[in-house]
Amino acid sequence: MKKILVIGSLNMDMVIEMKRMPIVGETVLGTKMTYVPGGKGANQAYAAARLGGDVKMLGCIGEDDFGRTQKSNLAKCGVDTDDFKQTGTQGTGMASIYVDECGDNTVVVVPGANMECNVSYLKKNDEALQECDYVILQMEICCDAIYYAISRARELGKTIILNPAPVPDSLPDEIFSMLDYITPNESELMKLCGKEGESVEDYVEGARQLLEKGVKNVLVTLGKKGALFVNKETEELFPARKVSAVDTTAAGDCFNGAFAVALAEGRELSEAVMFANAASSIAVTRNGAQTSIPTREETDEVLAELLA
Ligand code: RIB
Protein backbone atom coordinates (compact mmCIF):
# COMPACT_ATOMS: atom_id res chain seq x y z
CA MET A 1 0.00 0.00 0.00
CA LYS A 2 1.45 3.35 -1.04
CA LYS A 3 1.42 6.25 1.41
CA ILE A 4 -1.01 9.16 1.20
CA LEU A 5 -0.20 12.58 2.66
CA VAL A 6 -3.10 15.00 3.09
CA ILE A 7 -2.17 18.63 3.63
CA GLY A 8 -5.20 20.68 4.53
CA SER A 9 -7.83 22.16 6.79
CA LEU A 10 -9.57 21.02 9.93
CA ASN A 11 -12.85 22.66 10.95
CA MET A 12 -15.46 22.03 13.56
CA ASP A 13 -18.72 22.08 11.61
CA MET A 14 -21.76 23.64 13.24
CA VAL A 15 -24.51 21.97 11.23
CA ILE A 16 -27.97 23.51 11.28
CA GLU A 17 -30.79 21.58 9.66
CA MET A 18 -33.84 23.44 8.35
CA LYS A 19 -36.76 22.97 5.98
CA ARG A 20 -35.46 25.56 3.56
CA MET A 21 -32.62 28.08 3.44
CA PRO A 22 -33.34 31.64 4.60
CA ILE A 23 -33.14 34.35 1.96
CA VAL A 24 -31.17 37.53 2.69
CA GLY A 25 -32.74 39.40 5.60
CA GLU A 26 -35.04 36.51 6.59
CA THR A 27 -35.14 34.48 9.83
CA VAL A 28 -36.21 30.83 9.64
CA LEU A 29 -36.52 28.23 12.40
CA GLY A 30 -34.04 25.38 12.26
CA THR A 31 -34.91 21.81 13.26
CA LYS A 32 -31.58 20.63 14.70
CA MET A 33 -28.04 21.80 15.47
CA THR A 34 -25.01 19.53 15.85
CA TYR A 35 -21.22 19.86 16.02
CA VAL A 36 -19.45 17.47 13.65
CA PRO A 37 -15.72 17.19 12.83
CA GLY A 38 -15.13 18.52 9.33
CA GLY A 39 -12.83 20.59 7.15
CA LYS A 40 -12.01 19.48 3.63
CA GLY A 41 -8.51 18.28 4.50
CA ALA A 42 -9.59 16.39 7.61
CA ASN A 43 -12.58 14.86 5.82
CA GLN A 44 -10.39 13.60 2.98
CA ALA A 45 -7.81 12.19 5.38
CA TYR A 46 -10.56 10.55 7.44
CA ALA A 47 -12.20 9.05 4.35
CA ALA A 48 -8.90 7.73 2.98
CA ALA A 49 -7.99 6.10 6.31
CA ARG A 50 -11.46 4.68 6.95
CA LEU A 51 -11.40 3.14 3.49
CA GLY A 52 -8.11 1.39 4.19
CA GLY A 53 -5.41 3.91 3.17
CA ASP A 54 -2.07 4.48 4.88
CA VAL A 55 -2.63 8.16 5.67
CA LYS A 56 -0.72 10.99 7.31
CA MET A 57 -2.08 14.52 7.64
CA LEU A 58 -0.37 17.88 8.08
CA GLY A 59 -2.61 20.67 9.34
CA CYS A 60 -3.05 23.19 12.09
CA ILE A 61 -5.49 23.35 15.03
CA GLY A 62 -5.96 25.77 17.90
CA GLU A 63 -5.35 25.05 21.57
CA ASP A 64 -9.01 24.29 22.20
CA ASP A 65 -11.47 21.43 22.58
CA PHE A 66 -12.53 21.55 18.94
CA GLY A 67 -8.93 21.02 17.88
CA ARG A 68 -8.39 18.20 20.37
CA THR A 69 -11.62 16.50 19.23
CA GLN A 70 -10.53 16.73 15.59
CA LYS A 71 -7.12 15.26 16.29
CA SER A 72 -8.42 12.33 18.32
CA ASN A 73 -11.22 11.59 15.84
CA LEU A 74 -8.69 11.32 13.00
CA ALA A 75 -6.18 9.38 15.06
CA LYS A 76 -8.87 6.84 16.10
CA CYS A 77 -9.58 6.28 12.43
CA GLY A 78 -5.90 5.53 11.78
CA VAL A 79 -4.65 8.88 10.42
CA ASP A 80 -1.12 9.77 11.56
CA THR A 81 -1.64 13.17 13.23
CA ASP A 82 1.72 13.24 15.05
CA ASP A 83 2.99 16.32 13.24
CA PHE A 84 -0.09 18.51 13.57
CA LYS A 85 0.72 22.08 14.49
CA GLN A 86 -1.12 23.52 17.46
CA THR A 87 -1.28 27.30 17.67
CA GLY A 88 -2.15 29.49 20.63
CA THR A 89 -2.82 32.52 18.46
CA GLN A 90 -5.96 31.35 16.60
CA GLY A 91 -8.85 29.03 17.33
CA THR A 92 -9.50 25.82 15.38
CA GLY A 93 -11.25 26.49 12.06
CA MET A 94 -15.04 26.62 12.14
CA ALA A 95 -17.68 26.06 9.49
CA SER A 96 -21.30 27.06 9.71
CA ILE A 97 -23.33 24.70 7.51
CA TYR A 98 -27.00 25.05 6.62
CA VAL A 99 -28.68 21.88 5.33
CA ASP A 100 -32.19 22.00 3.90
CA GLU A 101 -34.69 19.17 3.60
CA CYS A 102 -33.50 18.33 0.06
CA GLY A 103 -30.03 17.64 1.47
CA ASP A 104 -28.52 20.72 -0.20
CA ASN A 105 -26.16 22.87 1.83
CA THR A 106 -24.44 26.22 2.07
CA VAL A 107 -21.19 26.58 3.97
CA VAL A 108 -19.30 29.51 5.49
CA VAL A 109 -15.80 28.71 6.75
CA VAL A 110 -13.84 30.81 9.23
CA PRO A 111 -10.33 29.39 8.73
CA GLY A 112 -8.74 30.44 12.06
CA ALA A 113 -5.76 28.15 12.76
CA ASN A 114 -5.86 26.72 9.21
CA MET A 115 -4.11 29.87 7.99
CA GLU A 116 -1.13 28.86 10.11
CA CYS A 117 -0.68 25.79 7.97
CA ASN A 118 1.99 27.78 6.14
CA VAL A 119 5.25 27.38 4.22
CA SER A 120 7.53 27.36 7.28
CA TYR A 121 5.45 24.60 8.91
CA LEU A 122 5.62 22.53 5.70
CA LYS A 123 9.38 23.10 5.43
CA LYS A 124 9.76 21.77 8.98
CA ASN A 125 7.82 18.68 7.95
CA ASP A 126 9.62 18.00 4.70
CA GLU A 127 10.15 14.38 5.77
CA ALA A 128 6.41 13.77 5.45
CA LEU A 129 6.56 14.94 1.85
CA GLN A 130 9.64 12.84 1.18
CA GLU A 131 8.09 9.69 2.63
CA CYS A 132 4.71 9.72 0.89
CA ASP A 133 3.67 8.60 -2.58
CA TYR A 134 0.50 10.65 -3.04
CA VAL A 135 -0.11 14.23 -1.89
CA ILE A 136 -3.71 15.48 -1.65
CA LEU A 137 -4.47 19.16 -1.22
CA GLN A 138 -7.56 21.35 -1.09
CA MET A 139 -7.75 25.15 -0.80
CA GLU A 140 -8.77 26.00 2.76
CA ILE A 141 -5.23 26.68 4.01
CA CYS A 142 -2.75 29.44 3.24
CA CYS A 143 -2.39 29.66 -0.59
CA ASP A 144 1.40 30.06 -0.46
CA ALA A 145 1.59 26.79 1.46
CA ILE A 146 -0.48 25.04 -1.22
CA TYR A 147 1.76 26.31 -4.02
CA TYR A 148 4.88 25.44 -2.04
CA ALA A 149 3.63 21.91 -1.30
CA ILE A 150 2.77 21.35 -4.96
CA SER A 151 6.16 22.44 -6.24
CA ARG A 152 8.07 20.53 -3.53
CA ALA A 153 6.00 17.40 -4.20
CA ARG A 154 6.67 17.76 -7.92
CA GLU A 155 10.42 18.10 -7.22
CA LEU A 156 10.22 14.88 -5.19
CA GLY A 157 8.31 13.07 -7.95
CA LYS A 158 5.12 12.49 -5.95
CA THR A 159 1.67 12.04 -7.46
CA ILE A 160 -0.32 15.21 -6.75
CA ILE A 161 -4.11 15.48 -6.45
CA LEU A 162 -5.54 18.98 -6.05
CA ASN A 163 -9.17 19.35 -5.05
CA PRO A 164 -9.59 23.06 -5.89
CA ALA A 165 -12.20 23.78 -3.22
CA PRO A 166 -12.99 26.53 -2.59
CA VAL A 167 -11.64 27.99 -5.86
CA PRO A 168 -9.58 31.12 -5.16
CA ASP A 169 -10.06 34.21 -7.32
CA SER A 170 -6.91 33.35 -9.21
CA LEU A 171 -4.65 30.33 -9.43
CA PRO A 172 -1.14 30.80 -10.89
CA ASP A 173 -0.88 29.15 -14.31
CA GLU A 174 2.36 27.34 -13.45
CA ILE A 175 0.50 25.31 -10.78
CA PHE A 176 -1.58 23.44 -13.36
CA SER A 177 1.36 21.81 -15.11
CA MET A 178 2.52 20.29 -11.82
CA LEU A 179 -0.75 18.49 -11.12
CA ASP A 180 -1.38 14.84 -11.88
CA TYR A 181 -5.08 15.12 -11.03
CA ILE A 182 -7.38 18.07 -10.46
CA THR A 183 -10.78 17.21 -8.99
CA PRO A 184 -13.19 20.18 -9.11
CA ASN A 185 -16.96 19.90 -8.90
CA GLU A 186 -18.89 21.39 -11.80
CA SER A 187 -19.12 24.94 -10.43
CA GLU A 188 -15.46 24.94 -9.39
CA LEU A 189 -14.51 23.79 -12.89
CA MET A 190 -16.49 26.59 -14.50
CA LYS A 191 -14.98 29.17 -12.15
CA LEU A 192 -11.47 27.88 -12.92
CA CYS A 193 -12.19 28.28 -16.64
CA GLY A 194 -13.93 31.64 -16.27
CA LYS A 195 -16.97 30.22 -18.07
CA GLU A 196 -20.63 29.46 -17.57
CA GLY A 197 -22.30 26.21 -18.54
CA GLU A 198 -24.45 23.39 -17.24
CA SER A 199 -24.11 20.55 -19.70
CA VAL A 200 -21.68 17.66 -19.77
CA GLU A 201 -20.38 19.09 -23.07
CA ASP A 202 -19.60 22.37 -21.27
CA TYR A 203 -17.74 20.44 -18.59
CA VAL A 204 -15.74 18.46 -21.15
CA GLU A 205 -14.76 21.71 -22.83
CA GLY A 206 -13.78 23.19 -19.45
CA ALA A 207 -11.74 20.11 -18.59
CA ARG A 208 -9.94 20.37 -21.94
CA GLN A 209 -9.06 23.97 -21.12
CA LEU A 210 -7.35 22.76 -17.92
CA LEU A 211 -5.51 20.05 -19.86
CA GLU A 212 -4.19 22.78 -22.12
CA LYS A 213 -2.81 24.53 -19.06
CA GLY A 214 -0.84 21.38 -18.32
CA VAL A 215 -2.90 19.31 -15.84
CA LYS A 216 -2.51 15.62 -16.70
CA ASN A 217 -5.95 14.39 -15.66
CA VAL A 218 -9.21 16.19 -14.85
CA LEU A 219 -11.85 14.44 -12.76
CA VAL A 220 -15.03 16.47 -12.30
CA THR A 221 -17.58 15.47 -9.66
CA LEU A 222 -21.08 16.13 -11.01
CA GLY A 223 -23.30 15.10 -8.08
CA LYS A 224 -26.31 13.13 -9.34
CA LYS A 225 -24.79 13.00 -12.83
CA GLY A 226 -21.70 11.10 -11.61
CA ALA A 227 -18.07 11.86 -12.36
CA LEU A 228 -16.43 12.96 -15.59
CA PHE A 229 -12.86 11.92 -16.35
CA VAL A 230 -10.94 13.70 -19.10
CA ASN A 231 -7.31 13.46 -20.19
CA LYS A 232 -5.51 13.77 -23.53
CA GLU A 233 -6.33 10.20 -24.53
CA THR A 234 -9.85 9.69 -23.24
CA GLU A 235 -13.03 11.11 -21.80
CA GLU A 236 -15.61 9.14 -19.85
CA LEU A 237 -18.68 9.90 -17.79
CA PHE A 238 -19.09 7.49 -14.86
CA PRO A 239 -22.77 7.58 -13.85
CA ALA A 240 -23.69 8.05 -10.20
CA ARG A 241 -25.56 5.39 -8.25
CA LYS A 242 -29.17 6.47 -7.64
CA VAL A 243 -29.80 7.18 -3.95
CA SER A 244 -31.96 9.53 -1.86
CA ALA A 245 -29.59 12.17 -0.59
CA VAL A 246 -30.14 13.56 2.90
CA ASP A 247 -26.96 15.67 3.19
CA THR A 248 -24.32 16.24 0.52
CA THR A 249 -21.75 17.74 2.96
CA ALA A 250 -18.32 16.14 2.43
CA ALA A 251 -19.51 13.95 -0.45
CA GLY A 252 -16.73 15.46 -2.57
CA ASP A 253 -14.23 14.91 0.24
CA CYS A 254 -15.29 11.29 0.53
CA PHE A 255 -14.89 10.95 -3.26
CA ASN A 256 -11.36 12.40 -3.15
CA GLY A 257 -10.23 10.27 -0.20
CA ALA A 258 -11.63 7.12 -1.79
CA PHE A 259 -10.11 7.92 -5.18
CA ALA A 260 -6.66 8.36 -3.61
CA VAL A 261 -6.95 5.04 -1.75
CA ALA A 262 -7.94 3.19 -4.89
CA LEU A 263 -4.99 4.70 -6.80
CA ALA A 264 -2.65 3.89 -3.90
CA GLU A 265 -3.83 0.28 -4.10
CA GLY A 266 -2.83 0.24 -7.76
CA ARG A 267 -6.36 0.00 -9.18
CA GLU A 268 -7.10 0.91 -12.78
CA LEU A 269 -8.35 4.47 -13.27
CA SER A 270 -11.92 3.43 -14.12
CA GLU A 271 -12.18 1.21 -11.07
CA ALA A 272 -10.72 3.97 -8.88
CA VAL A 273 -13.44 6.39 -10.09
CA MET A 274 -16.14 3.78 -9.51
CA PHE A 275 -14.81 3.08 -6.02
CA ALA A 276 -14.96 6.82 -5.29
CA ASN A 277 -18.48 7.03 -6.76
CA ALA A 278 -19.54 4.10 -4.57
CA ALA A 279 -18.18 5.67 -1.38
CA SER A 280 -19.67 9.11 -2.02
CA SER A 281 -23.05 7.62 -2.96
CA ILE A 282 -23.20 6.21 0.57
CA ALA A 283 -21.94 9.44 2.18
CA VAL A 284 -24.83 11.51 0.78
CA THR A 285 -27.34 9.23 2.50
CA ARG A 286 -25.95 10.21 5.92
CA ASN A 287 -25.72 13.42 7.88
CA GLY A 288 -22.58 15.41 8.58
CA ALA A 289 -19.03 15.43 7.28
CA GLN A 290 -16.83 12.74 8.87
CA THR A 291 -19.94 11.11 10.33
CA SER A 292 -21.12 10.30 6.80
CA ILE A 293 -18.02 8.44 5.58
CA PRO A 294 -18.72 4.73 4.94
CA THR A 295 -16.58 1.76 5.93
CA ARG A 296 -14.53 -0.24 3.47
CA GLU A 297 -16.96 -3.17 3.65
CA GLU A 298 -19.95 -0.96 2.80
CA THR A 299 -18.07 0.62 -0.09
CA ASP A 300 -16.88 -2.70 -1.50
CA GLU A 301 -20.45 -3.99 -1.42
CA VAL A 302 -21.71 -1.02 -3.44
CA LEU A 303 -18.74 -1.21 -5.80
CA ALA A 304 -19.57 -4.86 -6.51
CA GLU A 305 -23.13 -3.74 -7.40
CA LEU A 306 -21.77 -1.05 -9.75
CA LEU A 307 -19.39 -3.48 -11.41
CA ALA A 308 -22.03 -6.22 -11.83
O1 RIB B 1 -16.47 19.80 2.15
C2 RIB B 1 -17.19 19.90 3.35
C3 RIB B 1 -16.42 20.71 4.33
O4 RIB B 1 -16.30 22.02 3.86
C5 RIB B 1 -17.08 20.84 5.69
O6 RIB B 1 -16.74 19.80 6.56
C7 RIB B 1 -16.64 22.21 6.14
O8 RIB B 1 -15.82 22.21 7.26
C9 RIB B 1 -15.97 22.86 4.94
O10 RIB B 1 -14.61 22.83 5.04
Average the pLDDT over 55-63 and give the result.
98
What is the C-alpha separation between 204 and 214, in angstroms, rounded? 15
221 pLDDT higher than 90:
yes
Per-residue pLDDT, averaged over 240-259, amounts to 95
Residue 280 confidence (pLDDT)? 98
pLDDT score at 170: 85
Query: Per residue in 11-38, pLDDT tens?
Result: 999 999 999 999 999 999 999 999 999 9
Q: Do the Cβ atoms of 41 and 59 come closer than 8 Å? A: yes
* CATH T-level topology, domain 3-10+39-92+112-307: UDP-N-acetylmuramoyl-L-alanine:D-glutamate ligase (3.40.1190)
Atom of ligand 1 nearest to the CA of 253: 1
Q: Write down the pLDDT at residue 235.
A: 97
Q: What pTM was estimated for this model as a whole?
A: 0.97
Number of residues that make up the chain:
308
* Atom 9 of ligand 1: nearest residue by CA position: 39
Q: Tell me, in angstroms, the distance from the centre of ligand 1 to residue 232's CA.
A: 31
What is the per-residue pLDDT across 166-208, written as a single tens digit (0 to 9) for each?
999 888 999 999 999 999 999 999 999 998 999 999 999 999 9
Ligand 1 site: residues with CB under 6 angstroms? 9, 11, 13, 38-40, 43, 95, 107, 109, 140, 249-250, 252-253, 289
Taking the centre of ligand 1 as the mean of its atom positions, its distance from the CA of residue 127, in whole angstroms, is 27
Which residue puts its alpha carbon closest to atom 8 of ligand 1? Answer: 39
**What's residue 237's pLDDT?**
98
Query: What was the pLDDT predicted at 75?
Result: 98
**Measured between alpha carbons, how far is 74 from 81 in angstroms, rounded to an integer?**
7
SS3 92: coil
Residue 103 binned pLDDT confidence (cut-offs 50, 70, 90): confident
The candidate with the shortest Cα–Cα distance to 41, out of 15, 85, 9, is 9
- By annotation, the residues acting in catalysis are 253
What's the chain's average pLDDT?
Answer: 96
Distance in angstroms (rounded) separating the CA atoms of residues 300 and 275: 8
Is residue 223 very low, low, confident or very high in pLDDT (cuts 50, 70, 90)? very high
Q: Which atom of ligand 1 is nearest to the CA of 95?
A: 8
pLDDT digits (tens, 9 = 90+) for 261-273: 999 999 999 999 9
Looking from the CA of residue 9, the nearest atom of ligand 1 is 10
Percent of the chain predicted with pLDDT > 70 = 100
Domains of the chain, by residue range, sit at 3-10+39-92+112-307
